[in-house]
Chain A
Amino acid sequence: MAAVVIGGLLGPAIVVALAVLLPATLAGVLLRLMRTALLFALPLAGSAFVVNLFFFPEGRTVLFAIGPVTATAEGLSFALEILVRILAIGGAITLFYLTTPPATFVVDLERRGISPRLAFVANASVQTVPALVERAGQITAAQRARGLDTEGSAWKRIRGVLPIVAPVILGSIAEVEERTMALEARGFTRPGRRSLLWAPADSGRQRAARWLLLLAVIGLVVARLTGWWA
């Protein structure tokens, strides 16, 4: 959030370093973070970068030209800013996903008063992704075994979408139905309070880190708005 608000390049870069890369290193997930975040952010970041580099409306100082398009210094500057912001957001989301076990997240939400069903849905949405990926992989293998060409021309690959997407969706729906029945039969929809087995550990350090981050963001936003840091 702070990265988006702060103007220029240096500010967001510092934010990324502090709020994303530092905790990632501490949690030992730096490499995984970079790989996953890059994977997700790359298409968006890449296209945003290219568009701004070559087509920035206020671009004046020419850096180089490729055929009909020209890259400008202003464009480059803006492109870099956008890139850092995207990486900040992508990085933050990935950091969360990598370091918070879903169960912990759900239990903590419940403890703070969120309805268990809501917490469950929040968790399930994250959990579904790896299951979907695995299912899609199996289905692709089965269709390839029937001659579906996934290594050939782009047109052939497009034609291959339905034989993969249809069973993925149908199968996921069927699994959701079964899971719903199983959960209901175990009392998930019972009105009234649920007991909780435990509360996730919330160390002093975690709490301090949260407060620090919050203050930092507020501080940065205020600084920006009052023009102290242009």
Chain B
Amino acid sequence: MPDLDVRGLAHVYREGGVRALDGVDLWIAAGERVGIVGQNGSGKTTLVRHLNGLLRPTEGRVTIDGTDASGLMVAELASRVGLVFQDPDRQIFASSVRAEVEFGPRNLGQRGTGLADSVRRALEATGLAGEERSNPYDLGYSRRKLLALASVLAMRTPVLVLDEPTTGQDARGVDRVRRIVAALADEGRTVITISHDMRFVAETCERVIVMRGGRVVLDGTPAEAFAREAWETLRSTYLEPPLAARVGQRLGLGSTPTDAQLIEAMRGGRVHR
């Protein structure tokens, strides 16, 4: 399983000359569950697009498992880093769910029973088993989002990047995504999630990276990223820590970013009135 190494990464878009990334240093170990948060325009999407070569560095370097990404084509990098885009309707093109899910793995050279197996497992994980022959547009938005996720899951990449997997998703869909992330982590895969949902990030990620103005302004565990000391940084970028963290702080229980941790701390009898 590869690790990801980003050194001094900067990116300036040719159109408009915007410096969307301004010197980012990151090392992500194999199997980490990372959450990237920040406002639109903070550089989150620009950053992850460097991981599969869609964007090339203006300055700095991206290394995947020791190999410089700039030497590899996007089609090759796609076998190592799968990227699920936010809008499923800017990706879905096939007339059947099966064909849509097969597209990615086929491009990567999967065939025969291996291919059928990847597809079946991806469909099961996303709750779409039985919809193989359905037209994607007969599915609701929530399920189309899961379809987009399935089509990348089937590629069996060691690294998976999910761009806003829960935006516009209903409660059942969010639950499924949560379970998929956990399953991927169990398999030792690296999962990077970009999300606006602080609660989701606190609950599914072991590391939170906060971005603002093209830079990383906070990088730590959820407990660190949502601790009282970090609130000013968070709020400077219009983000709020999850409710559990705020409540825990008010009750004097230390950093309790998830609901479970808050309840646990309350149980410990350390509640001050």
For the complex, give the distance between the alpha carbons of A166 and B89 in Å. 10
A145 at the interface (CB under 8 A from B): yes
Contact B89 A151 (CB under 8 A): no
For the complex, give the distance between the alpha carbons of A151 and B52 in Å. 14
Contact A138 B74 (CB under 8 A): no
CB neighbours of A138 from chain B (8 A): 85, 87, 90
Q: Taking each of B52, B108, B151, which has the highest tally of chain A beta carbons within 10 Å of its own beta carbon? A: B52
Known: A139-B91, A166-B93. A151 touches B151 (CB 8 A): no
B257 at the interface (CB under 8 A from A): no
Contact A141 B78 (CB under 8 A): no
B242 at the interface (CB under 8 A from A): no
Query: Residue of A at shortest CB range from B92?
Result: A167
B152 at the interface (CB under 8 A from A): yes
CB neighbours of B108 from chain A (8 A): 147
Contact B75 A147 (CB under 8 A): yes
CB within 8 A of A145: which of B73, B85, B92? B85
CB neighbours of B89 from chain A (8 A): 167, 170-171, 174
Interface string of A132-152 (1 = CB under 8 A from B): 000100110111111111111
Interface string of B39-65 (1 = CB under 8 A from A): 000000000010010100000000000
Q: Taking each of B85, B93, B103, B155, which has the highest tally of chain A beta carbons within 10 Å of its own beta carbon? A: B93
For the complex, give the distance between the alpha carbons of A150 and B54 in Å. 11
CB neighbours of B241 from chain A (8 A): none
B107 at the interface (CB under 8 A from A): yes
Chain B residues touching A, range: 20 to 34
Interface string of B59-100 (1 = CB under 8 A from A): 000000000000001110011001101010111110000000
Contact A146 B103 (CB under 8 A): yes
Contact A144 B75 (CB under 8 A): yes
A162 at the interface (CB under 8 A from B): yes
A163 at the interface (CB under 8 A from B): yes
Interface string of A151-166 (1 = CB under 8 A from B): 1100000000011101
Contact B137 A146 (CB under 8 A): no
Query: Residue of A at shortest CB range from B87?
Result: A138
Query: Residue of A at shortest CB range from B154?
Result: A146
For the complex, give the distance between the alpha carbons of A167 and B93 in Å. 5
Q: Looking at chain A's contact residues, is the secondary structure mostly helix, strand, loop, or mixed?
A: helix
Query: Residue of A at shortest CB range from B79?
Result: A147
CB neighbours of B155 from chain A (8 A): 146-147
Contact A142 B78 (CB under 8 A): no
Contact B152 A146 (CB under 8 A): yes
For the complex, give the distance between the alpha carbons of A149 and B109 in Å. 12
CB neighbours of A151 from chain B (8 A): 73-75
Query: Residue of A at shortest CB range from B83?
Result: A145
Q: Which residues of chain A from 112 to 145 have a CB within 8 Å of any chain B CB?
A: 135, 138-139, 141-145
Contact B79 A135 (CB under 8 A): no
Contact B90 A145 (CB under 8 A): no
B104 at the interface (CB under 8 A from A): yes
Contact A149 B75 (CB under 8 A): yes
CB within 8 A of A170: which of B49, B85, B137? B137
CB neighbours of B82 from chain A (8 A): 145-146
Contact B54 A145 (CB under 8 A): yes
CB neighbours of A152 from chain B (8 A): 73, 75
CB neighbours of B92 from chain A (8 A): 167
Contact B104 A167 (CB under 8 A): no
Query: Residue of A at shortest CB range from B152?
Result: A146
For the complex, give the distance between the alpha carbons of A48 and B22 in Å. 47
CB neighbours of A150 from chain B (8 A): 74-75
CB neighbours of B91 from chain A (8 A): 139, 142-143, 146, 167
CB neighbours of B93 from chain A (8 A): 143, 162-164, 166-167
For the complex, give the distance between the alpha carbons of A133 and B112 in Å. 36
What residues of chain B have their CB less than 8 Å away from a CB belonging to chain A? 49, 52, 54, 73-75, 78-79, 82-83, 85, 87, 89-93, 103-104, 107-108, 137, 151-152, 155
A-B contact pairs, 22 of them (CB 8 A): A138-B90, A141-B54, A141-B85, A142-B85, A143-B93, A144-B74, A144-B78, A145-B85, A146-B78, A146-B104, A146-B151, A146-B152, A147-B75, A147-B104, A149-B73, A149-B75, A151-B74, A162-B93, A167-B89, A170-B137, A171-B89, A174-B89
Query: Top 8 closest A-B pairs, CB basis?
Result: A147-B107, A146-B104, A166-B93, A142-B91, A145-B83, A147-B78, A149-B75, A142-B85
Known: A146-B82, A167-B93. 16 other contacts (CB 8 A): A135-B90, A139-B91, A142-B90, A144-B74, A145-B52, A145-B83, A146-B152, A147-B75, A147-B107, A147-B155, A148-B75, A163-B93, A163-B103, A170-B137, A171-B89, A171-B90
